């Protein structure tokens, strides 16, 4: 489509991006439109408050953490490439490409999604989810009637369950091992015009 091509040409290094992330041109264009819509001051970068403008994120208990995950440590802004790269983790999986063990992990593999989720917990980026970090996440995800004692108890038990090497923290390997009971398709439906609740279509995931 004409408009796709013209938009694509506005984006620098777009082929590289598509190659790396596996998005189709149409997807990239949509994401670009979305990026521009969020970037109200047209700086070419997104800042946290631009994300803050998304109202529905405020309704999400871990919304702010997710916003944070878009920004690499130390960075104050995110440009389009990084934006797309992160969203690429959640791109629907390719059905066409056969699983080739010698190739590097595709960017939207299950592992990268889990890594992203791990980041949400591990705010200080030390590679482990400490009890305190877990407690924070729990606190944000539980309703307010739950008392501190209860929260701490839950956190303790969770660490007990998941922590295999007894270091009182959850490393990424241990994190991976937690089975997602309800098998889920860890993708999102993206599109600026329609919004519908994602389905939990699932085939049981085997690790």
Indicate which single residue of 82, 93, 112, 120 sits in contact with another protein (rule: CB under 8 A): 120
CB-based contact 25:18 (threshold 8 Å): yes
Site for another protein in 123-182 (CB under 8 A): 123-124, 132-133, 136-150, 153-154, 157-158, 161-162, 178-182
Q: How far apart are CA 74 and CA 67, in angstroms?
A: 14
Among 7, 14, 18, 51, binds another protein (CB under 8 A): 51
As a whole number of angstroms, the distance between CA 11 and CA 81 comes to: 9
Measure the CA–CA gap between 108 and 22, rounded to whole angstroms: 9
Contacts of 68 (CB under 8 A, 6+ apart): 48, 123
What is the three-class DSSP state of 129? Answer: strand
- Rounded to whole angstroms, the Cα distance separating 39 from 45 reads 7
Smallest distance from the beta carbon of 53 to another protein, in angstroms? 5
Least distance from C-beta 20 to another protein, angstroms? 17
Closer Cβ to another protein, 101 or 126, answer by number: 126
Is the CB of 102 or the CB of 145 nearer to another protein?
145
Task: State in angstroms the smallest separation of the CB of 81 from another protein.
Answer: 15
Smallest separation (angstroms) from another protein to the CB of 98: 24
Enter the DSSP assignment of 168. Answer: S
Identify whether the C-beta of residue 169 lies closer than 8 Å to the C-beta of residue 144.
Answer: no
Q: Which of 8, 53, 109, 172 binds another protein (CB under 8 A)?
A: 53
Number of residues engaging another protein in binding (CB under 8 A):
89
Site for another protein in 83-112 (CB under 8 A): 87, 90
Pick between residue 44 and residue 204 the one whose CB is nearest to another protein: 204
* Residue recorded with tokens 């997710």: 66
């Amino acid at each position: 489509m004409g408009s796709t091509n013209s938009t694509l040409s506005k984006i620098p290094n777009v082929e590289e991006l598509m190659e790396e992330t596996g998005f189709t041109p149409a997807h990239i264009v949509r994401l670009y439109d979305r990026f521009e819509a969020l970037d109200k001051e047209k700086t070419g970068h997104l800042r946290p408050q631009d994300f803050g403008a998304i109202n529905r994120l405020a309704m999400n208990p871990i919304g702010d953490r997710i916003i944070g995950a878009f920004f690499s440590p130390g960075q104050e802004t995110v440009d389009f490439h990084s934006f797309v790269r992160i969203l690429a983790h959640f791109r629907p999986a390719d059905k066409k490409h056969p699983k080739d063990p010698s190739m590097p992990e595709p960017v939207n593999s299950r592992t990268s999604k889990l890594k992203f989720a791990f980041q949400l917990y591990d705010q200080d980026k030390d590679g482990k989810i400490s009890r305190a970090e877990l407690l924070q996440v729990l606190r944000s995800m539980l309703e307010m009637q739950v008392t501190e004692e209860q929260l701490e108890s839950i956190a303790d038990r969770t660490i007990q369950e998941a922590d295999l090497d007894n270091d009182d923290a959850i490393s990424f390997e241990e994190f991976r091992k937690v089975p997602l009971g309800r098998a889920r398709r860890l993708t999102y439906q993206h599109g600026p015009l329609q919004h519908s609740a994602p389905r939990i279509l699932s085939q049981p995931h085997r690790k």
